Each structure stands twice: as C-alpha cells, then as structure tokens.
Amino acid sequence: MQVLADFPWENGQEWIDELRRQAVGHQILAEPDIVDHAGIEAAVVWRPSIDFFKPLTNLRALIVPGAGVDQLMQSGTSLPDVPIVRLADPVMATRMAEYVLAMVLDHHRQLGRYRDQQAGAIWKRHFHSDPQDIRVGILGMGVMGAAAARHLRAIGYAVTGWSRSTKVMPDIDVAAGEAALMPLIAASDILVCLLPLTDATRGILNAKTFDAMPEGALLINAARGAHLVVPDLVAALDRGKLSAAVLDVFEDEPLSPESPLWEHPNVTITPHIASLSNPVTGVRQIVRALDRIEAGERPDHIVDRHAGY
C-alpha cells in the first residue's frame, strides 16, 4: 500500500526511517517527493494543513501518530470519510504514569521547598502526610489516565477516576458522567487532567472547578492546553485556593516567553513532554493498522468521530 507520512516534529525523519524499516510491503512516501497523490491509500498525519487532503482522492484510512486527535479533528480541514486510527501505546501510558507520579511525589514530599531551602543553606524539616491520606482525582480514565491511576494506587494514594462510561478497576473507584464531576473535584487534593480535548471537555478546568476544589489543592494538566482557562487558574493560585499547578500543555505551543505563567512562583512548566510518542512502539502500532487496512480488516483504536476522541 502507498502511505503518505507527515510528521511535523523535530524527529520527523526518525519516524519516517522507522516506518520504512518496519512497514515491510508498504511504500512510505513523504512530501515533497510524491508524484502520484491519487495512488496514496493511507496517510499518517498529526496536524494537516488546510489543503492536505485535497489531492488524496483514494484514501482508505488516516492514522494519527499520537494519543490525542484534537489537532486533526479540530484542524479546520475537511476530513475524508475514512476510519481514523490513533495510538493506544502501553509504553506511552507508562511514560505518562511516570510523569504524573513524579509531579505528585514532588508536591507531596515538598521537594520544591527543600530546593528553595538549599539555596539559602536552611536545614528545616516539614511534616508530610501519608499517601493514603491524599486523594488524587483523575479526569479521563483511558489509556493514559488508567495507567497513572494504577501507578499512584500502587504506592498507596487514594485514587478516584472520572470517565464517560462506567469502569471497574481494582482498588480504584471510577465515577462516570457529568453529575459525578463536581463531587469528584471537591474530593481531590490533587486533580490530574488526562481527558481528550473535545467540545465537552474544552475549558473544563475553570473558576467553577477551582472553587469546588479543597483549599490548597494541586492541579496537574498533561492533556491539552485548551482544557484550562488560564486567567481562572492564575486567580485561584493568587488567592491561595490552589497551592500549585503543573502544566505540560498549552493552548499555543511553544508557550510564549511573554506568558505570565513562566514567572508564577507556584506554577511548574514542562514543554509537552509528559509522554512523547515513541517511534519504535508507535510505528509498530501504525504498521499493525496498515496491515489490517490492507487486508480489509477493521484496525484497532478507531476514533469515534461523534464523541471527538
């Protein structure tokens, strides 16, 4: 099958090389070297340009080389009516779980405070509670959220999740549906957002959310920047309602050097690295999807266009 590969990332060539190595029997093509666009049957694409699909008149599937699909679904490009497949990579899920765990532990064990003390040669101990007394709420219990929940639970945190559909997980309560959201938020000393960005979740981290959270709570957003209303967060931090926020994702990336978030003493910023797509395991999933499409079978992890993820 002829496959158009478009990776607009620093390591895009690494992905193309890996795809050519693993996708035996498929022809991997990349712009500007494509002469026969009508021969392309599948496209691996992260964020298409407005005219990206126009010459691709014989597509059978789109494959997104990442977990989130909002950058494709909300790109303003008219999408062809073919299945859209995304990555659901356990390696990415473990990376995300490690990130969330690192940030929860950093906050819980007050490591920032000790880094500040070290700068002033201050020897002072501070009390910290046990993990079972810290309630972590996870918004989104899919591939990423469930992995984060299991890692946190394994070292004793009291974890509750929130999803659209009900789920049963050992030692982890999962609340489902809109009515369950505010009670979960009100009972989360640490709130972690791992939702997909859809019409239903855009702006979900807002003043109402922060008002409902316990005094001094921590927010971690590693999903998408547009889940968060930044001025509402800054106001909640400034009045001490939230003690801190960890932000890996921003509505405009890279985050502008002018953003007040950089300077905020209670904000930790990372440059969208919570869980980078992994070329080897990601390509393995892409090739599995290509093989199934070519064989006329239904690939795994098809996006529900109506739900938007």
Q: Footprint of ligand GLV on this chain (CB under 6 A)? A: 66-68, 277
Give the range of 130-138, 149-157, 195-203, 209-217 binding ligand NAP by CB under 6 A.
195-203
3-state helix, strand, coil in the chain (%, to 5): 35, 20, 45
143 near ligand NAP, judged by CB under 6 A: yes
- Residues contacting 9, CB < 8 A, separation 6+: 15, 46
Nearer to ligand NAP, 235 or 276 (CB): 276
Q: Which residues of 184-196 are buried (b: 16+ CB within 10 A; e: fewer)?
A: bbebbbbbbbbbb
Residue whose token pair is 């496209």: 43
15 near ligand NAP, judged by CB under 6 A: no
| Residue from 63, 138, 175, 222 binding ligand NAP (CB under 6 A) | 222
Nearer to ligand GLV, 67 or 204 (CB): 67
Q: Which amino acid is at 128?
A: H
- Among the options 108, 224, 227, 301, which is catalytic? 224
Residues 33-92 that bind ligand NAP (CB under 6 A): 67-68, 88, 92
- Least distance (Å) from ligand NAP to the CB of residue 11? 14
| 224 catalytic per annotation | yes
137 near ligand NAP, judged by CB under 6 A: no
- Residues contacting 127, CB < 8 A, separation 6+: none
- Least distance (Å) from ligand GLV to the CB of residue 275? 7
227 binds, among ligand NAP, ligand GLV, none (CB under 5 to 8 A by kind): none
209 near ligand NAP, judged by CB under 6 A: no
2: phi then psi, degrees, rounded to nearest 5: -90, 130
- Among the options 272, 284, 288, 292, which is catalytic? 272
Nearer to ligand NAP, 48 or 68 (CB): 68
Nearer to ligand GLV, 97 or 213 (CB): 97
Burial-class residue 205 by CB neighbours within 10 Å (0-12, 13-18, 19+).
buried
| 60 catalytic per annotation | no
Residue whose token pair is 């993820």: 309
Give the binding-site size for ligand NAP (rule: CB under 6 A).
31
141 near ligand NAP, judged by CB under 6 A: yes
- Residues contacting 208, CB < 8 A, separation 6+: none
Q: Which amino acid is at 155?
A: I
Q: Using CA atoms, how far apart are residues 228 and 25, in angstroms rounded to an integer?
A: 43
Q: Count Cβ atoms below 10 Å from residue 290 Cβ, excluding itself.
A: 26
Site string for ligand NAP, 238-257 (x = CB under 6 A): ----------xx--------
- Least distance (Å) from ligand GLV to the CB of residue 221? 12
Q: Using CA atoms, how far apart are residues 103 and 203, in angstroms rounded to an integer?
A: 22
Nearest residue to ligand NAP by CB is 142
Nearer to ligand NAP, 228 or 274 (CB): 274
Strand order in the sheet with 27-29: 27-29, 2-6, 42-45, 61-63, 84-85
Binding site for ligand NAP (CB under 6 A): 67-68, 88, 92, 96, 140-145, 162-165, 194-198, 200-201, 222-224, 248-249, 272, 274-275, 309
As annotated, the active-site residues are 224, 272
